[in-house]
Amino acid sequence: MTARITPRGPVSAQLLQALSEPARPSSDSMQRTLDAAREALDQQPYVGTDDDLQLALLVSYGLSYGGVVECDDRWEWHPAQVAVRTAIEDLFEQQLRERVEIGELPHPDAESVAAYLFAATAEDSGPSLSRYLAKKATREQATEFIIHRSIYTLKEADPHSWAIPRLTGRAKAALVEVQSDEYGGGQPSRMHSVIFAKTMAGVGLDPSYGAYIDRAPAVTLASFNMMSMFGLNRRLRGAIAGHLAAFEMTSSIPNRLYGNGFRRLGYDSEVTDYFDEHVEADAVHEQIAGRDLAGGLAEEHPELLPDIVFGARACLYADGLVGAHMLERWQAGASSLRAEETVTV
């Protein structure tokens, strides 16, 4: 079952309309979507916070993931549909590169790259969402947190898995090792997306993918869309490797705090299992992703080092924006979701 998605502007409205039709070689409806996208992009909006463009990207990427919109599968690689996606991607990537500071690059060997990434992810980036969840969040705020997380986590590991056939040697072996754990090591019930679905059900939420897309603000969609952009474009394979390294390096301690926060709020292991699972698993994954994946890729392909660092820094940047959004809204006594009403449990 796929969710019913509400358009957020002319681009997403026209895209959803086009996808409701058969994917014919010549589609006036999808051409109108491309025209709408180009008109919107001509205004030079900041794509990272543009609800219309981020929803359009999410829907477009969803054609490759599945489970987002119900439509003719031939739309996935329809030339006009791909043109819509790449037009938005071009400005999104450009603006990310303008905002994400790379600084001085490490030497392209595994140990130097890993040391750089561990130092970068250890930097204090301001107020901590995980500490707030552990000590102060209400049940309503904790539930909102789960809704934000559901946009990516119900598809957990998939964006990074696009890179598997695009890597070789040490980096490829490392990515497969990490992803095997993410997918439950052969046990479907231990797939991280499945465990998170149980967390959602445990706090009274619908665990089906897309149930809360309409509630997720652009900044939350942008975090997932950025992963998809890195993973689906072979030229950005360095960025997706760096992203996963930073993602794993900033996971273990926050997940311990998230688990403690949900226990403080009275939830049992049905809810906290997902967070507890990541405390030990990601402490191992961060070493593999930092040295063998990112570092191994830099050794094999030094020309990808700038993108490896960019991907890691972009991960920290995007996650920081989502966390800051939630904290700012909650501290103002408001919901962090698109609708003003508070999620109740």
Pairwise CA distance, residues 36 & 45, whole Å: 14
Report the candidate in 202, 143, 174, 133 with the shortest Cα–Cα distance to residue 194: 202
The gap between the terminal CA atoms of the chain, to the nearest Å, is 24
- Could you read off the pLDDT of 160-184 as tens digits, one per residue? 999 999 999 999 999 999 999 999 9
Q: Looking at residue 344, what is its pLDDT?
A: 40
Query: CB within 8 A of 57, min separation 6: which ones?
Result: 85, 88, 89, 92, 221, 225, 228, 229
The radius of gyration of the chain from alpha carbons, rounded to an integer in Å, stands at 20
- With a cut of 60, say whether residue 343 has pLDDT above it: no
Sign of the torsion formed by the C-alpha atoms of 271, 193, 174 and 300: negative
Burial class (CB in 10 A: 0-12, 13-18, 19+), 167: buried
112 has pLDDT over 80 = yes
d(C-alpha 245, C-alpha 329), whole Å: 29
Cβ contact 297:167 at 8 Å: yes
Per-residue pLDDT tens over the stretch 179-227: 999 999 999 999 999 999 999 999 999 999 999 999 999 999 999 999 9
Tokens of 72: 């003719």
- Spell out the residues 6+ positions from residue 328 whose beta carbon is closer than 8 angstroms to its own: none
**pLDDT tens per residue across span 290-338:** 999 999 999 999 999 999 999 999 999 999 999 999 999 999 999 999 9
Is the whole-model pTM more than 0.75? yes
Burial-class residue 187 by CB neighbours within 10 Å (0-12, 13-18, 19+).
Answer: exposed
Q: Write the burial class of residue 10 (CB in 10 Å: 0-12 exposed, 13-18 middle, 19+ buried).
A: middle
- Say which residue the tokens 């999410």 belong to: 58
* pLDDT tens digit sequence for 247-261: 999 988 999 999 999
Element (H, E) at 195: helix 192-202
How many angstroms separate the CA atoms of 149 and 140, rounded? 14
The structure tokens listed for 101 are 């500071």
Which pLDDT score is estimated for 124? 60
- Torsion angle of C-alpha atoms 185, 210, 152, 337, degrees rounded to 10: -140
Question: Do 230 and 158 meet the contact criterion of CB atoms below 8 Å apart?
Answer: no
Locate 191 and state its tokens.
Answer: 């797939």
Query: What is the predicted pLDDT for the residue at 125?
Result: 58
Residue 148, SS3 per DSSP: helix
For residues 337 and 236, what is the distance between their CA atoms, to the nearest angstrom?
31
Name every residue whose Cβ is closer than 8 Å to that of residue 253 and which is 6 or more positions away in sequence.
Answer: 130
Residues of the chain with pLDDT > 90: what percent?
92
